[in-house]
Amino acid sequence: MLTISKPQIGQAEIRRAVKVLKSGHLAQGEEVRELERAFASYCGTRYAVAVNSGTAAIHAGLYAFGVGEGDEVITSPFSFIASVSPILIQGARVVFADIRESDFCLDPESVDNHVSKNTKVIIPIDLYGRVYDHPAIAAIARKNNLRILEDACQAIGAHIRGRKAGTFGDAAAFSLYATKNITCGEGGVLTTNDRAIADRARMFRNHGQPEGKRYEYVDIGYNYRMTDIQAAIAIEQLKKVDRVNVQRIRNAQLLSTMLGTNEALVVPQVPEGMEHVFHQYTIRLKGPLAARRDGLVKYLHDRGISVGIYYPRPLHLSPVFSRLGYRAGDCPVAERIAGEVVSIPVHPGLTQKDVSYIAESILEYVG
Ligand SMILES: *Cc1c(COP(=O)(O)O)cnc(C)c1O
């Protein structure tokens, strides 16, 4: 089966993890500190704070910004629940703006229309591995004195003319979950240039204790610490990130060359100067073909190709948000696009022959 994702774990990761296992020090320690140094240096931020998931990184970012009851956070409904659940956990209100069909990311015009006097933060999502429309969203944030928390969970290594994902907001969240471009099973990192944000995040991940002040509980926090075992794996993965991303980009180019000429398919368009790292390679099925999506998924599955639908339903139509009064029609673009997208394997474990076979199989079905 050609799967939608495949972790690329080599001997270096295994050796380093085993070394930690034999060292007697398994919890957060020197390996975590080293990962943080390497991660900040890779992204080009002053600070990186490692936690145990991308969700925890988003939560820590919101906490560090001081988001709480009465605050509104604007974000996209076209994402994974982890982009928004920390907003609710902090007692703030989720405000969904619509997305743009050209890049699947937040539509700046819709964001602008949803700003109120209670808005505190915008969470733009670097969906599928491309950077959101940073200049337009940053202008809205500046005008209204808002903070930006970039959800870069899918976008490690993506950049715009050398400026990397993770540097586009006041803080950014990364995930090291097993399906992401690099992984340590579960893990997350918050990046920022702001010392106060980094310090608050460090305190939050460790039960509200400031760094170096054990048993001084300044605030309620969580156990969001990463282990040295995970950090050891992540350090070795980070050394490979550019290599695995180049392979994804090469696979994506081949897919676009083969699929891009078919009228019924919309392939990803990447603007000049942007590096999209293709955490997902997502196409849209146009017109009547969208109604045959389930058939395509089954057709490919029968040919040994597993594809993903990210995401089949916009977040605001999930039961948890229906109960809060969100309705169909709130974000029409996201609602339509959720019925059109298909993500197809693009990971570095595929050969060029696999990629051609995947594209040919899709073209066969589409006709
Ligand atoms: C994976 C992901 C998360 C959550 O990361 P976890 O490490 O699974 O907690 C959040 N947002 C987006 C967009 C993601 O893809």
Per-residue pLDDT of the chain (367 residues; tens, 9 = 90+): 999 999 999 999 999 999 999 999 999 999 999 999 999 999 999 999 999 999 999 999 999 999 999 999 999 999 999 999 999 999 999 999 999 999 999 999 999 999 999 999 999 999 999 999 999 999 999 999 999 999 999 999 999 999 999 999 999 999 999 999 999 999 999 999 999 999 999 999 999 999 999 999 999 999 999 999 999 999 999 999 999 999 999 999 999 999 999 999 999 999 999 999 999 999 999 999 999 999 999 999 999 999 999 999 999 999 999 888 899 999 999 999 999 999 999 999 999 999 999 999 999 999 8
361 CB under 6 A from ligand 1? no
Residue 46 contacts residue 193 (beta carbons within 8 Å): yes
User: Ligand 1: which of 154, 190, 310 to mutate, judged by most atoms within 8 Å of the beta carbon?
Assistant: 154
262 CB neighbour count, 10 Å cutoff: 17
Atom of ligand 1 nearest to the CA of 188: 7
Query: Cis link prior to 47 (omega < 30° from 0)?
Result: no
Nearest atom in ligand 1 to 79's CA: 13
Beta carbons within 10 angstroms of residue 317's beta carbon: 18
The verdict on the CB of residue 5 being under 6 Å from ligand 1 is: no
Indicate the pTM of the whole model: 0.98
CB 180 within 8 A of CB 68: no
* Range 195-198, long-range pairs (CB < 8 A, 24+ positions): 195/46, 195/47, 196/64, 197/47, 197/61, 197/64, 197/65, 197/170, 197/171, 198/46, 198/47, 198/49, 198/64
**Residue of 149, 176, 153 lying closest to 87 (CA atoms):** 149
Torsion sign (Cα): 81, 83, 89, 95? negative
Q: Return the best residue to mutate from 5, 52, 55, 186 for the ligand 1 pocket (most ligand atoms within 8 A of CB).
A: 55
8 Å CB contact between 169 and 177: no
Closest residue to atom 6 of ligand 1, CA basis: 54
3-state secondary structure of 40: helix
How far is the centre of ligand 1, averaged over its atoms, from the C-alpha of 174 (Å)?
A: 7
CB 53 within 8 A of CB 183: no
